[in-house]
Amino acid sequence: MSFIAIWSIYKYEMFRFFRTILQSFVSPVISTSLYFVVFGAAIGSRIQEVEGVSYAAFIVPGLIMLSVIMQSLSNSAFAIYFPKFIGTIDELLAAPVSFFEIVVGYVGAAATKALFIGTVILGTASVFVDVHILHPGAMVAFLVLTCISFALFGFIIGIWAKNFEQLQLVPMLIVTPLIFLGGSFYSVTMLPPIWQTVTLFNPVLYLISGFRWAFFGISDVSVGWSLLAIAAFTGLCMTVIWWIFRTGWRLRN
């Protein structure tokens, strides 16, 4: 394994991120503030507490997961799609670099960017509410695993997409609804029994539930199921990426 190759790809992607650092920093701050105004003030005035936690604090893990998942997806998908779009991916594939090094470089950079955004949102949320993290180690673990797993998923989307419209199709039409319906801004226990059962088939629920447990010690599903779900999703994404590079699907003409 060549660490120089990994570092070169990682450094290039991070330089591209820091060229727009102001936009990358200001955007999540503004969006988080708006979410607190809309959800924290409007809905929070009607729902004082959820399972003993103030509603404004309850939505913090959901807000972080919402941004982290979307940032991981979009950064990783665009990073690998752009070389396909301009034709430079052939040079990358012809270089003495293994597929593992390519994936680690791109996915590592996308996960780092998302982790930075998640940290910014947590800091912004702390301005509005008192955020107490009950299990900080578990919080960091869930955050890092989510960044990596969805960066892997975004890598697959970037290879699959044939145009910019397809690049946005899965995040906008599939992932975003799953996040909002996965208990980001409410507890699943607030739903009717039939919808509680339906929500259990939403994989994002397990990520948000485990992440919220790290903050407040409460969750809609057990932490064990949350860890199993994210491990299975990560393993599935890694298997698909291995198959893509082995067969050259959507990489070679």
Per-residue b/e over 105-131, b at no fewer than 16 CB within 10 Å? bbbbbbbbbbbbbbebbbebbeebbeb
User: Mind giving me the DSSP string for 161-190?
Assistant: -SSHHHHHHHIIIIIHHHHHTTTSSS-GGG
Going along 9-130, which residue ranges are E strands? Answer: 49-50, 53-54
Cα dihedral sign for 205, 207, 208, 210?
positive
Q: What is the DSSP letter of 96?
A: S
Q: Could you tell me which residues come within 8 angstroms of residue 109 by beta carbon, excluding any fewer than 6 positions away? A: 9, 10, 13, 14, 17, 75, 79
Crossing angle of the two packed helices 223-247 and 203-216, in degrees rounded to 10: 130
40: amino acid identity, one letter? G
Show pLDDT as tens, one digit a residue, over the chain (253 residues).
788 989 999 999 998 888 877 767 777 778 777 877 777 666 766 777 888 898 888 999 999 999 999 999 999 999 999 998 888 888 888 888 888 999 999 999 999 999 999 998 898 888 888 888 999 999 999 999 999 999 999 999 999 999 988 998 999 999 999 999 999 988 998 899 999 999 999 999 999 999 999 999 999 999 999 999 999 999 999 999 999 999 989 886 5
**178 with 202: CB under 8 angstroms?**
yes
